[in-house]
Chain A
Amino acid sequence: MRVLVVDDEPDMRDAVAMYLREESYSVDTAADGKDGLYKAQTWDYDAIVLDVMLPLVDGWKFLGELRKSKTTPVLMLTARDAVEDRIRGLNSGADDYLVKPFVLSELVARVRALIRRAAGKAKPVIEIGDVYIDMASRTVSLAGEEVSLTGKEYSLVEYLALHLGELVTRTMLYDHLFDEHDDSMSNLVDVYVSNVRRKLGRDLITTRRGQGYIIEQES
């Protein structure tokens, strides 16, 4: 899962980005609205954490511009807690709203929920055969036994599971699993896929040769 954090306060931005990375998200950052908007319009992020008070392009304008082309879920951050501000944020197209100061774990939970809802899954669990994915605790179990996955492996399974029955290209996977500073080779995706197959069984992820991967919907 790839997330964009836009905040002009360096200490705040660093803390949020670091926490999200530790939760196995790929995180890009932007220090002002202009840079953030450029990134948001260029890449398909799974979610955007957006501070309202931004230099150059403020949060409201950012949202207005973004919504012209993208439906990326946006979590707005602000130090203003006036009801009008919250209403304005939600009305301008924000999907959720968090008032500073906040607890980082809450921010992550909200980001997770946003991603899940954007994929059309209201429940935090996905069951595919005997594979059980708990997105709240970020764990995967196979036939009742918890399987230990690395962050990237889990993200891969979660991403494919959220796009159940849809073909996911290797580029998409790459974009969502790695951040802007990651210049790993794209065949790393294949490495993760083979690792997951080793741990969860060969049949879970189907390869569409030349196109990408898919977790088939149970019939």
Chain B
Amino acid sequence: MVKSLRWRLQIWHAIILTGVLTIFGTVVYSLHWQTRLQQIDAELDRMAEVLGARLRRLLPPGPPPFRGPGRPSSSSTRSGDGRPRPEFPRPPRDQTRSPGERPERPDLLDRVDHPLSGNDRPGDPTHRPEPPRSESHRPEPRRESARGDRPGRPPWERGGPDRIPPGLGLPEEFQHLFEGEDESRFYFVIWGHEGVVLEKSESAPEVPYPDLHMGEAGLPVRNVRVRDNWREVIHVSRFDVNVLVGRSISNDLAAEHRYGALLFLAGSGVLAAGFLGGGWLSARAIRPISSMTTTAQSISAQNLTQRIDLQDTATELGQLAVVLNGTFDRLQSAFEQQSRFTADASHELRTPLAVILAHTELALSRLRSPEEYRMALEACQRASTRMKTLIEGLLMLARFDSKRAVLETTEFELAPVVHECVELLQPLAEPRQIRIETELESVRMRADRSRVSQVITNLLTNAIRYNQDQGSVKISISLDAGQTLIRVSDTGLGIAGDELPHIFERFYRVDKARTRAEGGSGLGLSICKTIVEAHGGTIHVTSEPQQGTVVEVRLPVVA
């Protein structure tokens, strides 16, 4: 079954289809998830913006903390030296920004806002506060020390975010989003610098302090992180206040999984449909081949007439069928020719054999007079002679056919050969008072003398046999355009135009029975043609019914 072209097509089709569907499904699935995450992030961002705006209104105005370039980690530096921030306040540029405007930090932005970056978050170097440090670096103890040990803080820092007056509250329109038992409700946490929780929603779970700091040029920082099933957006603005808004995405994940399952189901459906369709298609494509196979199988020596049904010859298979049918045609004609020849040959051989058998049986059926035995033997002799002639002719043709015949070429004068033939055939012509005229030029040629003689004898025999009584036969030889031209014409019945193309066929007879009574084998002209062509010559017959026939043989002077 695996060897079957159809099944192989099917299997390949299925494999390719599966691959395409898998890639397509994966892309669709991940794009869908990205879009979902972006939507969530946008929501979280919007909320963080709102919270940030509220916060800015409540916090005392002051310069943002200075961040030296290349400062790797804000927390270690700050807790290490404890130096106060340089005191050149800068106007918080982000205050002038509209919530939707993006800070001018392409590198950071690219990372944060890139649609695909959400999943990469754990490996993102900008995501500094990682979950592992959540317990050991709780902001609480540091807040103590920050308050107690550093009385010399600038007032904006000391009295800043730490003493945020209660009543930050929530915008009315958002409040309901943070309430209730919904698993995917929002939460927020706001940390002042040093990780002091300034405010958080009731819905907030345990959230580690992200410990993010403003950008180098005092630009606000936005970061996104994923903790287990929590998606969180952290905005850092003045005084390094970390505003974190998050929500659980487990519902979204579940929805996404359902979506994935749906995609998988749909893909399987498409695959199954594709497989069935492919099966149907391959069966359709293969069907002409099967029918060709059936036809070709049914063609045998006994049944050569079958042909492949030609429906559409323009297709590749149609062309193949045309070619095959052409081959079958040639095969059929070759077979028919062969079987016709065999039938003819056997017919010709059976007839004299039947005579011999009949006469011997007749003679032996009772005691006969010597005269009767003599008659029987004579009949047998005639029949045997006929068989001998026939067999010799067949053997000669077979030898020429198989290219085993060798021409014994000698150089000779043609005229004496013609004279011999004419002399030999006089007894055939005389009883019917047929004159044989000769017009012979002296022609020397190289050829197989006995074969040429056979050709002339055959042609003259035909000319006499198919002549009318008291008719005449004329044979002339001459040199014509460097070739020997032997021309035999008679005053006989002639040959009808539709018979002419067949006269060189073996056993073909113009008048099927007349010649048989006169002893012809039906091979004479085909033997002539074979011999002439073996010498590299040509034979041509022209004839008019009732006007006689002219045979022209052209042989090269040097064969």
Contacts and interface: CB of A to CB of B under 8 A. Distances in A.
B398 interface: no
A174 B156 CA distance: 161
Given A14-B379, A15-B362, A104-B358, A9 B517 contact: yes
Place the interface of chain A in its size category. 20 to 34
Interface in A35-77: 53-56, 58
B362 A104 contact: yes
- The listed residue with most B CB atoms (<10 A of its CB), out of A15, A55, A58, is A15
A11 interface: yes
A213 B537 CA distance: 75
A8 B366 contact: no
A55 B382 contact: no
Interface residues of B, number: 26
A31 B513 CA distance: 11
B513 A55 contact: yes
Nearest to A103: B361
A210 to B, nearest CB: 41
A32 B366 CA distance: 30
Interface string B318-358: 00000000000000000000000001001110110111111
Interface in A83-104: 99-104
Contact of A101 (B353, B362, B514, B516): B353
A11 B512 contact: no
B379 A103 contact: no
A105 interface: yes
Contacts of B351: 9, 12, 79, 100
Contacts of B382: 11
A151 to B, nearest CB: 13
B383 interface: yes
B359 interface: yes
Contacts of A54: 513
Contacts of A79: 346-348, 350-351, 354
- Secondary structure at the A interface, as helix, strand, loop or mixed, is loop
B387 to A, nearest CB: 11
B81 interface: no
Given A32-B513, A55-B517, A105 B361 contact: yes
A9 B355 contact: yes
A11 B383 contact: yes
A11 B359 contact: yes
Contact of A104 (B347, B356, B361, B514): B361
B375 to A, nearest CB: 8
A56 B358 CA distance: 25
Contacts of A11: 355, 358-359, 379, 382-383
A82 B344 CA distance: 11
A196 to B, nearest CB: 25
A11 B352 CA distance: 9
B297 interface: no
A22 interface: yes
Contacts of B366: 22
B365 A12 contact: no
A101 B347 CA distance: 10
Contacts of B355: 9, 11-12, 15
A90 to B, nearest CB: 18
B511 interface: yes
A19 B365 CA distance: 9
A121 interface: no
A58 B511 CA distance: 11
Contacts of B516: 8-9, 53
The 5 closest A-B pairs by CB, nearest first: A55-B513, A101-B354, A15-B358, A100-B354, A79-B350
Interface of A: 8-12, 14-16, 18-19, 22, 31-32, 53-56, 58, 78-82, 99-105
Given A12-B358, A79-B350, 13 more contacts: A11-B359, A15-B379, A16-B358, A18-B362, A22-B365, A53-B516, A54-B513, A79-B347, A79-B348, A80-B343, A81-B350, A102-B358, A104-B361
8 contacts: A19-B358, A32-B513, A53-B512, A99-B350, A100-B353, A101-B356, A101-B358, A102-B354
